[in-house]
Structure 1
């Protein structure tokens, strides 16, 4: 809930009256077609920031029914008795008092349904599934600072439900959801450059997968452990985790059966083992014939499933390590970059798109195309701080390393300096 402090602006007062968190306001803002970060919204509400884009002004006015100039004006307590207009579903403007009553009623109903001593009902269980599914789908496409709070709250909810008395038929489902949220938080910890916390979350997620007796979830968590180890500079561990998950993936018949071998391929490539890399890539391609629709983890979508686009990126990333695979690496990197051009595609992910561009830059450096490499890495270097996750920063550093090893570092000094400037401000430095 928005804290009950004395608001600095009319906007802060209206947010407080709506009894919503800033992350909920941001989510509604996005649903209306706008783009804003929670940090920017907080700065506007606190009076620290007054500059807004035309799109932001239009969306704020639509949400709160007042011109932006009035919303950003200092709040005068005497205005407290005024009605707060907000946009209801379907576009009808309702009063703030009505919305506050409805929000309170919805929160009370949700709390009752989820915390009933007799255990969850089918409707409440579906609500929890929707909460987890929403975060899983949003994760690859939205900056982590926008969804981290919701992710942590969702994990807290699932763990609290597991700690209370539940019907036996719901325990397995809750452990499944606990494993998913734990896996997402493992990825979040990795994205923030904390592999220790990431592996800790992953171990708990695997425990939940065991309690849920879910082979696909076990395989997925092993894939996350392989990913974390790869970017942490531990390719042998990455290979080991990928291989540990292979047996579970075979029994699940889910897309993890593709993800694990292609993850193994990246780690073998980092170790310089071209034969093992090619063999793992071939196993990944062949695994598509074993994938069966209907796996409940795949149906979560987002980070919980592995599609063709990610396979192209992983293959390009793997082959970029190997000097003898220059032509194949170039082909895969082009396909991967093309695959991530459409940002409206369900599989689009800003991190994988950035990694694809980095792989293309590395292959162009190997071919002596420094201008082409600069063009390839340019979209990555333009990413805002809140999207400079750990894997993206490491990908940029690999491009820098390729430039150093190319023998033409002096010709690419400006590009190297751009990369150094980019990597100097990873997402960990983003103020939250």
Structure 2
């Protein structure tokens, strides 16, 4: 003897739906809804996700309502928002069993896809995090990024249409790359390395060479600050091989290749990498902003490239080039208020001023003090670069200005950043 599913019927009425309206929302025949509520048949697995959405239920709560004992007092409150769902396709009177099966499978297919609105929310939110890097304290941005990840990752785990899946994987790759940079800013190198590797894994899933190049740039950045210069170079080279003249070739050439080659003592390689970056830069339109984000998803701007070139030439001892490229960058850095590049370019100039032949130690120490106040002790790359300045200034450690810098950075060593990972 059949037992009516009164709980299912009451839930439908609670949502303000007639049997006809529910059938239209699902793209099935009204008689199908009647049979569900009468207890004659159960909704097939194909249609249950869509039915749960329309009734504002989780799949578990829907399963509970489908039991014969689910009576009116057991009607379950809403736990998920009811989306605005148009019919998956025009409602046809489907009496044939085979046609009903097809209709339910099509309804299931429609229910799989993440709405465009969700992606349209997540993608700009991730772009905002990338844009705010070096403007907002990294710990604050990192917390927001983790919150976005909690929304995004369940969507990746669910079945999706191929085009939707590719969009989601691209957004996730950018979020992982941003988390890598934020972890690096906080000195959490193991976490930064893991996030950067995840960014590449996600990018590789999309098959987009430009996105893979972007992720390789994030990986190269982490390895550079970890002191693994051959690895940083190899990752940058791989990114360039995937997209030789794409939007990220400038960053890969000057931020990745040039700086790593400089640390490895290859002056000719630095010249070639910097020259290539400038050549590729002219092949792309100017960015919409005077100063792009460090992890920009578009082409690297000229001030960023110049700041990186200054860092590279510092490592090979060309102090004239350091000042040349720093002067191309600093006015824009100061005008736009990006504290990271403001601080680090000042430290590069200060270190160049330690040249025994033509140095100005007092000015150098003053620049480092300014940089530290701008960049803040919370930034691992700034701390690391200040520590390198202090090492380079060892010959003048008796001078009060250098002692003041040492006191300023006391307690914030490079090693703290390398091993901290909480």
TM above 0.5, one fold? yes
CA contact (8 A) 1:396 1:419 kept: no
| Structure with the greater alpha carbon radius of gyration | 2
Between the aligned partners of 1:125 and 1:299, the Cα distance in structure 2 is 23
Are 2:257 and 1:257 equivalent residues in the alignment? no
Task: Name the counterpart of 2:366.
Answer: 375
Between the aligned partners of 2:151 and 2:242, the Cα distance in structure 1 is 28
Displacement of 1:196 in angstroms is 2.3
> Partner of 2:350: helix, strand, or coil?
helix
Task: Name the counterpart of 2:216.
Answer: 222
Displacement of 1:338 in angstroms is 2.0
1:350 to 336, 339, 348: 339
Structure 1 364/109 Cα, relative in aligned 2: closer, same or farther at 3 Å?
farther
Structure 1 275/384 Cα, relative in aligned 2: closer, same or farther at 3 Å?
closer
Q: How does the TM-score come out when normalised to structure 2?
A: 0.67
Task: Name the counterpart of 1:320.
Answer: 314
> Partner of 1:173: helix, strand, or coil?
helix
CA contact (8 A) 1:133 1:301 kept: no
Query: Structure 1, residues 375-412: CA drift from partner, whole Å, max 9, x if none?
Result: 21122222475x622211111112112211xx333224
Between the aligned partners of 2:340 and 2:409, the Cα distance in structure 1 is 19
Task: Name the counterpart of 1:331.
Answer: 324
The alignment yields a C-alpha RMSD, in angstroms, of 3.3
Structure 1 376/108 Cα, relative in aligned 2: closer, same or farther at 3 Å?
farther
CA contact (8 A) 1:266 1:317 kept: yes
Are 2:329 and 1:341 equivalent residues in the alignment? no
Between the aligned partners of 1:218 and 1:308, the Cα distance in structure 2 is 22
Q: Which moved more, 1:368-377 or 1:298-307?
A: 298-307
Displacement of 1:138 in angstroms is 1.4
- The aligned length equals 312
Task: Name the counterpart of 1:275.
Answer: 268
Are 2:259 and 1:266 equivalent residues in the alignment? yes
> Partner of 2:244: helix, strand, or coil?
helix
> Partner of 1:250: helix, strand, or coil?
coil
CA contact (8 A) 2:309 2:325 kept: yes
In structure 2, runs of 5+ residues without a counterpart are: 1-77, 86-109
Are 2:147 and 1:153 equivalent residues in the alignment? yes
CA contact (8 A) 1:355 1:395 kept: yes
Q: How does the TM-score come out when normalised to structure 1?
A: 0.65
Displacement of 1:300 in angstroms is 9.1
Are 2:196 and 1:202 equivalent residues in the alignment? yes
Displacement of 1:111 in angstroms is 12
Query: Structure 1, residues 20-72: CA drift from partner, whole Å, max 9, x if none?
Result: xxxxxxxxxxxxxxxxxxxxxxxxxxxxxxxxxxxxxxxxxxxxxxxxxxxxx
Structure 1 188/111 Cα, relative in aligned 2: closer, same or farther at 3 Å?
farther
In structure 1, runs of 5+ residues without a counterpart are: 1-104
Between the aligned partners of 1:299 and 1:215, the Cα distance in structure 2 is 21
Between the aligned partners of 1:408 and 1:301, the Cα distance in structure 2 is 34
Structure 1 310/110 Cα, relative in aligned 2: closer, same or farther at 3 Å?
farther
Displacement of 1:332 in angstroms is 1.5
Task: Name the counterpart of 1:239.
Answer: 233
Between the aligned partners of 1:339 and 1:294, the Cα distance in structure 2 is 14
Displacement of 1:419 in angstroms is 4.2
Task: Name the counterpart of 1:359.
Answer: 348
Query: Structure 1, residues 342-399: CA drift from partner, whole Å, max 9, x if none?
Result: 13xxxx53212211111011111223201111221122222475x6222111111121
Structure 1 335/289 Cα, relative in aligned 2: closer, same or farther at 3 Å?
closer
Structure 1 293/363 Cα, relative in aligned 2: closer, same or farther at 3 Å?
closer
1:133 to 113, 127, 131: 127
Q: Which moved more, 1:240-249 or 1:191-200?
A: 191-200
Task: Name the counterpart of 1:188.
Answer: 182
Are 2:162 and 1:168 equivalent residues in the alignment? yes
Task: Name the counterpart of 2:391.
Answer: 401
Structure 1 384/334 Cα, relative in aligned 2: closer, same or farther at 3 Å?
closer
CA contact (8 A) 2:307 2:329 kept: yes
